[in-house]
Structure 1
Amino acid sequence: MELAEVLEALRERWDEVQEFLDESARARLRELLTAPSGDPERIARRIVRLLLASVPDGHPVRAVFEDSVRYARGARAEQINREAVLSALAFFGRRPAAAAQPPPDADDWLLDAGNVTAAEYRAGGHDPADPDLIRLTDRQGTVRLPSFQFDGASGLPLPLVVEVNRLLDADDDPWGVADWWLGANAWLDAVPARLLGTPGEHSLLAAARAEIAEW
C-alpha cells in the first residue's frame, strides 16, 4: 500500500480517528495542517504517525495503518502520487469533526436497503469521500454508500441525487438524509428513492425543498 492509499483510507475513517485525539495531538495536527510551507509528502507521513499514536491498540482502524510508518523513509516514497497526497491534506484541513459511529437512534434498516462499501466504490475509480454522497458508517466501522445514489451502468452519482443530497446537507446529516430517501414520504405519497428513473422523479426537488421549509 502506497502512502496515498493510506491517506485515502484515513479519509474514510477520519471522523472516527479524531475522537481519539487529545489536546496535545490536536495542537500538533493543527500545526501540520497550517504549515506555510514544506514537503506535503513528509507532512502526510507525520500526520499518519501522529494519528496512529493516538488510536488505541485493538481498535479496528489500526489494522489499516499498522505498517504505514515505513513510508517515512526509503525508495518507496518515490512512488507516492503527489496529487493524491495534496488532495488528502486539503481534505484533512477542511473536514469538521463529527461522530463516525451511527447515532444512538440510527435506523439500521437503512444499511439493509442496498449499498456498496467505500472500498468497493473507490475500487471502481470513484471518490467515496464526496461530500454530496450519503455515507453511513455501520457499527463495525465500515463506511457504506446507499446504492440508489448511483447510475447502474456507469457507477457515477445521479445528478438529481447529488442536488437533493446537497440541498438536505447529506454530508452533515447522512442518516437523516438516507431516511428521507428510503422512508415513506407523505408529500410524495411514495418512497423518494423508488421514483428515481420514473416520471415521478421530477417532484423530488420540490419535495426536498418542502422538507427544508418545515425545519
Structure 2
Amino acid sequence: MNEEGRGPSAEPLLALIGEHRESIRTALDDGQHALLLTRLKALAEASPDDGMAVPRALQGVRLALRQLPFGHPVRTMVDGVRLVAAPPGPQTVTEALKLVNLLAAQAQAPSAETGSTSPDPAPAPAPAPESGSTPDPAVRGDHATDPLLREPALSAAEVTARCGGAPPPELIRLPDPPNGDRYPEFQFPAGGGTPYEVVLEVNRLLMAEVDPRGAASWWYGGNSWLSGPPVSLLGRMRDDELVGAAIALVEGE
C-alpha cells in the first residue's frame, strides 16, 4: 500500500497482467481479450502531459479486467487500485507499451509456432431457442418488458442532426431491432443542442460504448452516493459530483 492507505500504483498491476497473461487469455473470451488489448494500447498511447489522459486510460484497462472471475489474482488487484493512488505517469505508459507488445506476441504465437498442437475446437454454437420460448427482451427490442426501451429516446437520425454528424461513441446507444437504435433522450438538453459534456464524461467512465445497458441502468437507477437517480439530477447537481459518483461505482467504493 502507498502512503495514507491508498491503493497500489499502476505499475504493479501491469506487471501482474504480464505475469498472468496465460490465465487471463484462458479466462476471457476473444472479444473480452481484444477489448483488454485495445484498452492497453490506449494507455500506451496516452500523453503523460495530459493530466487526465493516463488515469482515464488506466480506468479503461481496469474496467476491461473486471471481466475476470473473482479470485483471479489480477481481478483481486484491480479491485484494490484507486484513481487516488500514486498518480500514473510516464512510467505507466512505458510499462503499458511493453505489455501491449507482450500480449500481441502471445496472440500471434499459436499460428507462428511450427509443430504446435492443434488448436482447441471452436465452441459449439448456442442452441436455437425451443419452440414457444421467449427470446431475451433486450435482444428482440420488446418495449413491454424492457424498461430501458420504455424511456424517452431519440432516433439515430435525430441524434445525427443534433450532433451535426456522427454521434460521439460515448453516447448510450440501445439496440432496438424492430425500430432502430435508440439514444436515451436525457443525454441531450431538453431544448435541443449537443450532448451534455458531463454525460459524455460519465459515460466514458462507465464504458458505455462497450456496455450501454449497464451505463443506462446507472443513470436511471438509485444511487447510494446521490439523493436520487443520476438522470434526475442533471442540471440540478454539480457536474463534478455526478462524475465522482460514477468513479465511486467503477472503483467499487
TM-score normalised by length of structure 1 = 0.47
* Higher gyration radius (CA): 2
